[in-house]
Amino acid sequence: MNKKEILKEFGKILGAERNRAGLSQDELAAQAGICAGKHIGKIERGEANPSLYTVISIMNTLNISFDKLFSTKI
């Protein structure tokens, strides 16, 4: 997979997990300490490459493991 495909797949999984948790993009951003829900939207669309800090903050907020956010296909 190339970078663009990886980011899109990650974003798709993130969106599904966020919805499963019943959070809006703004709610996830606020709880994770991320600047704005707009950034979450960009991540979910595969338009942004989140930092490790952001990924860990999201994992902690959603209470999910690393492997839950990353497809085994990647």
Average pLDDT over residues 36-65: 93
Segments forming the whole domain that contains residue 38 = 3-66
| pLDDT at residue 66 is higher than 60 | yes
pTM for the whole structure: 0.88
Q: How confident is residue 58, by pLDDT bands cut at 50, 70 and 90?
A: very high
Residue 73 lies in a domain: no
SS (H, E, C) the chain: CCHHHHHHHHHHHHHHHHHHCCCCHHHHHHHHCCCCHHHHHHHHCCCCCCCHHHHHHHHHHHCCCHHHHCCCCC
Write down the pLDDT at residue 15: 96
CATH number for the domain spanning 32: value is 1.10.260.40
In a domain, 13, yes or no: yes
pLDDT band at 57 (very low <50, low <70, confident <90, very high): very high
Give the per-residue pLDDT at 71. Answer: 66
How many domains, in total, are found in the chain? 1
